[in-house]
Structure 1
Amino acid sequence: MTKQGLKVLVLGGTQFLGRHIVEALLAAGHQVSVLTRGRTPDELPDTVERLKGDRNEGAAGLTALAECTWDACVDVSGYTPRQVRASAETLRDAVHRYVFISTGSVYAEQNRHPIREDDPLLPAAAEDVTEVTGETYGPLKVTCERIVGEVFGSRATILRPQIVAGPFDPTGRYTYWIDRIAAGGDFLAPGDGTDFVQVIDARDLARFVRTVLEEDVPGVFNLAGPRLSWREFVDVVQEATGADARPVWVDAETLEAQGLGWHDLPVWLPVGSEQGGLMDMSSERARAAGLTLSDPLTTARDTGDWSAGTPQKSFLTREREAEALAAQQDG
């Protein structure tokens, strides 16, 4: 039976994915409270209850949650065991279901095709690790998942999204390609077009969170969108932006010789690389539980409409791009 009129606590909630989750819950008539530090812009409706706290302080930072109850909690901002241990234990008897937003980066064998929920995980980080880096991110999330499972048991739901894309994305990873192609002209396209791009639209993820809460769904779920070849992805973005742009495919060897990789060309993972399976995550289990996916054209178009008026992070500069294109031509 679908539950109506839920009271939901979102840990985080004013930025990107949290914002989409709050909006999806409000649209369905649920009551929402958010716990944040109050340090970032907040454009949520006035109907949202604001609670202030700092999860980095452990239980001492969660006093605003004392003597309150909700039907469910959605943890968008849990990155370290210290944060998640405190929130899970504080809310053990205050919420029925605890939904933890984890990551696809928890998997140990990231070159599997496809990656499924029962695949091996990375070794868990120690609970006293607090620094989040590229190396600790996945192991920390493994530990956080374990904590939520220990505290809530069958009342826990673990969501492992792939790269999340869409309006309000502060990372700029997916958005880089939308903006670069929209700018027109020849642009560097990595590889030969046969690698793959796979992202999850933040709004699809948010709707699935709502489904999990309304249907009281337990378990572990990968969340991944349609898998497109890079040629298909470029075609979609060109259609979405209406750009007069031409991809110049630059092979992996030339890119490596130029010192260009993930940090310059976000979202690109060669299909045969050690992390190539992260662009081949199975969402079969989630789709069976109610996940619906937006058309990639919709994601690209809506992201472009938003980013057109919003400054984005820079990745590959035009100068470095020109050098790589020249090297490709010389080769």
Structure 2
Amino acid sequence: MTPQGMNVLVLGGTQFVGRHIVEALLSAGHRVAVFTRGRTPDELPETVERLHGDRNGGGEGLTALADRTWDACVDVSGYTPRQVRASAEALRGSVGRYVFVSTVSVYAEQGRHPIREDDPRFPPAAEDVTAVTGETYGPLKVTCEDIVGEVYGERATLLRPQIVAGSYDPTGRYTYWVDRVAQGGRFLAPGDGSDSVQVIDARDLAQFTVMVLEGDVPGVFNLAGPRLEWRKFVDVVGKATGADAEPVWVDAATLEAQGIGWNELPIYVPANGEQGGLMDVSNERARAAGLTLTDPLTTARDTRAWSAGSPQKGFLTPEREAAVLAGRG
């Protein structure tokens, strides 16, 4: 495989992580084709080849990929074994390396500190499971990883990103905090400031993906960014947005008593909780392989520059926040 001018197929590619990967590949001088259902907005450059189909339809949904070859494939949209089995087997003889974007949610012991690539995963979900829920998401990704490894062997690379931050993010999880601090004033800050925040900038994930393809690198890699205490994270976001904002720390017990959890305070995970290790993910293997990390200040600043002009998903409402803060005096 030549490091420059590769032909790369991206399964997905028009949204968030996939879009960043496509943009990074183009910037590195590679040619890109994306395979999507064609149902979501597409703002990719005209130089990207569009192929349409649906992996949920099995082999029949992949006819657009027939009689074609690529140097590599990046799968950012495989969530169920049915989808991944179809594409992995259909492309077995058509691509060189198959890079599967998985998740740190595959790890079964999420209270470990830190979480490393060789830690136990959840038992794999059955291949006929198609419902993606909070409970099935991790086990489904385990099965998908196993399928890619089975079909491609040393030609497989598994990427396990943590929460991804940056522009184009439809989840709004990281963006919520950047936008809330940017509003200024007193705001609810979870815990006592000593818990950890750890995300991966989407651009770092994308650049690592390009590096893996160019170097034909096999293996399994956690992709996690710098680990900050919440008090440091809040300070960084404040500097990035230039806002006059005052954190009011509300301990985990009070939040639980108020019924406020992840769905209202995204990316907050108590360090000593059952999932505390998800904010302590080792990136040592990936960094040794070439992962570089964007400074958290830059991630926050650039995310805000994008989010300021883009409608965002809501989490903790102003009314709920005010009620909790009123009880804090």
TM-score bracket, normalised by the shorter chain, equals over 0.9
Counterpart residue type for residue 187 of structure 1: F
Q: Aligned letter for 2:319?
A: E
Aligned twin of 2:322: 322
Partner of 2:100: 100
CA distance in 1, matches of 2:282, 2:327: 37
Residue 39 of structure 1: how far off its partner (Å): 0.8
| Deviation sequence 1:255-313 (CA, Å, 0-9, x none) | 11110010000000000000000000001000011100000001000000000000000
Distance in 2, Cα, partners of 1:323 & 1:92: 56
1:240 counterpart residue number: 240
Task: Give the equivalent residue in structure 2 for 1:60.
Answer: 60
Aligned to 2:180: 180
Judging changes above 3 Å, is the alpha-carbon distance between structure 1 residues 283 and 2 closer, same or farther for their aligned structure 2 residues? farther
Summarize the alignment of residues 153-302 of structure 1 with structure 2, pairs less than 5 Å apart. 153-302=153-302
1:79 aligns with 2:63: no
Instruction: Give the Cα separation in 2 of the matches to 1:306 and 1:13.
Output: 19
Deviations 1:152-179 (A, max 9, x none): 0000000000000001100000000000
How far, CA to CA, are the matches of 1:2 and 1:38 in structure 2? 30
What's the counterpart of residue 114 of structure 2?
114
| Letter aligned with residue 63 of structure 1 | T
* Aligned 8 A contact 1:254 1:327 in 2: no
* CA apart distance, 1:2: 6.5
CA distance in 2, matches of 1:304, 1:139: 33
Q: Percent of aligned positions with the same letter in both sequences?
A: 78
d(CA) in 1 for partners of 2:76 and 2:219? 17
Question: Secondary structure of 2:278's match?
Answer: helix
Output the TM-score relative to the length of structure 1.
0.99
Give, in whole Å, the separation in 1 of the partners of 2:190 and 2:66: 51
Task: Tell me the secondary structure at the aligned position of residue 130 of structure 1.
Answer: coil
Instruction: State the alpha-carbon separation in 1 of the partners of residues 142 and 37 from structure 2.
Output: 24
The alignment partner of 1:96 has SS state of strand
Say whether the 8 Å CA contact 1:254–1:328 is kept in structure 2: no
Partner of 1:44: 44
Structure 1 segments of 4+ aligned residues over 6 angstroms from their partners: none
Deviation at 1:328, TM superposition (A): 2.6
User: 1:18: which partner in 2?
Assistant: 18
User: Equivalent residue for 2:303?
Assistant: 303
Return 5+ residue gaps in structure 1 as ranges. Answer: none
Inter-partner Cα distance in structure 1 for 2:57 and 2:239:
47
Q: What amino acid is aligned across from residue 130 of structure 2 in structure 1?
A: T
Tell me, in whole angstroms, the C-alpha distance in 1 between the residues paired with 2:85 and 2:256: 41
Q: Distance in 1 between matches of 2:164 and 2:307?
A: 15
**CA distance in 1: counterparts of 2:292 and 2:298, whole angstroms:** 13
Secondary structure at the residue paired with 1:140? helix
> Which residue is 2:3 aligned to?
3
Change (3 A) 1:2 1:324: farther
